Amino acid sequence: MHLKSWWQPSKTDSKPWLQLDFKNPKKVKTVLLSENMRSHSMRQFTLETKDQNGNWNKVFDGKTIGEGLRIRLNGNPIYGVRFNEVKSIYNTQITAFYAYE
């Protein structure tokens, strides 16, 4: 997903998330996340992948993102990837959310 500015959750969203869905399974090896450099606010988040049955499985627990965080995955075929904000000290602004095979 290429974001021309940034994604930020609604202030009333108690469990914000950002998701990429794939029509066909992808052998994702790396997920790249980035925050707006003026708002490094992330303090806790999770990353999940979707299996062939549509179930979401947590694959990563993180605390900070900053200007660029690369998360290595095992390359098994997945049908989607989802970022879940758990704790942020300001309004989160995600500027990049990429999945690489």
Into how many domains does the chain fold? 1
Domain ranges, residue 6 = 2-100
Comparing C-alpha atoms, which of 95, 7, 92 is closest to residue 44?
A: 92
Q: Which CATH number does the domain housing residue 20 bear?
A: 2.60.120.260
Q: Which two tokens stand for residue 18?
A: 């950002």
94-100 average pLDDT score: 93
| % pLDDT > 70, the chain | 96
Q: Which two tokens stand for residue 27?
A: 């052998």
pLDDT tens-digit map of 48-84: 999 999 999 999 999 999 889 999 999 999 999 999 9
Q: What is the largest CA-CA distance in the chain?
A: 39
